[in-house]
A and B are shown apart, each in its own frame.
Chain A
């Protein structure tokens, strides 16, 4: 069966520091991968998605970037964090674009 991992689970970072969040999927090949952000009391906003290695689509202009160095690895990064980057970051995968998305456990980021 497929599983999706995210780490770290919780992160507290100062403003201006760099960020790297990692997501990995097991049990499937060439998945579509997604990064979402959930601000406090809000729904989910799609940040990035990837249909293959090195292929990244950005949904909203922001302080963040994403990379997919391996088939089942998706990384969310920032060079300098802003206070507004605080939130709950969720990674998801699907077999194809039109198929169901399955979510990881999330990373809670607090920028101080």
Chain B
């Protein structure tokens, strides 16, 4: 069965410094993977998705993620954090029935 683990429940960075949100997945095949962002009391917004094309995926707002099959990872990065990036981030894998399996989320805090 597919699963996804977000390794950090909270990440705190200073504005202007790099962001790294870690995600590992478990799948018996090459999965579709997603990162969504949720601002407080809002719905989820798609940041980016991987669907077996290029392993480095560029998303919105300067975020990108790299699919590493050997490490079963799909970490989310951004070179320079902005205050508006403060939110909760979900790593998601699509299972063989096309259902989304969500990680438990990582809350990103950006310090001024």
Binding site for B on A (CB under 8 A): 6, 42-46, 49, 59, 88, 90, 92, 97-98, 100-106, 108
**CB-contacts of B12-60 with A (<8 A):** 32, 34, 36, 41-46, 49
What are 7 sample pairs from A and B whose C-beta atoms fall under 8 A apart?
Answer: A6-B43, A42-B105, A43-B90, A43-B102, A46-B99, A98-B94, A103-B43
CB within 8 Å for A101 and B42 given contacts A43-B90, A43-B105: no
CB distance from A6 to the nearest CB of B (A): 8
* Residues of chain A within 8 A of B45, CB atoms compared: 103
Q: Given contacts A88-B41, A90-B43, could you give 4 more A-B pairs where the C-beta distance is less than 8 Å?
A: A42-B104, A43-B104, A43-B105, A103-B44
CB distance from A26 to the nearest CB of B (A): 15
Q: Mark B87-112, 1 if CB is under 8 A from A, else 0.
A: 00010001001111011110000000
7 closest A-B pairs (Cβ-Cβ)? A97-B98, A43-B102, A103-B44, A103-B43, A105-B43, A44-B102, A98-B98
* Residues of chain B within 8 A of A92, CB atoms compared: 44
CB distance from B63 to the nearest CB of A (A): 16
CB distance from A102 to the nearest CB of B (A): 7
CB within 8 Å for A105 and B42 given contacts A43-B104, A44-B90, A100-B34: yes
Cβ contact of A98, chosen from B32, B46, B104, B105, cutoff 8 A: B32
In Å, the complex CA distance between A17 and B33 comes to 39
Binding site for A on B (CB under 8 A): 32, 34, 36, 41-46, 49, 90, 94, 97-100, 102-105
Docked-complex contact A43 and B98, CB < 8 angstroms: no
* Residues of chain A within 8 A of B104, CB atoms compared: 42-43
Docked-complex contact B94 and A90, CB < 8 angstroms: no
Docked-complex contact B90 and A90, CB < 8 angstroms: no
In Å, the complex CA distance between A6 and B41 comes to 13
* Residues of chain A within 8 A of B103, CB atoms compared: 43
Nearest A residue to B91 via CB reads A43
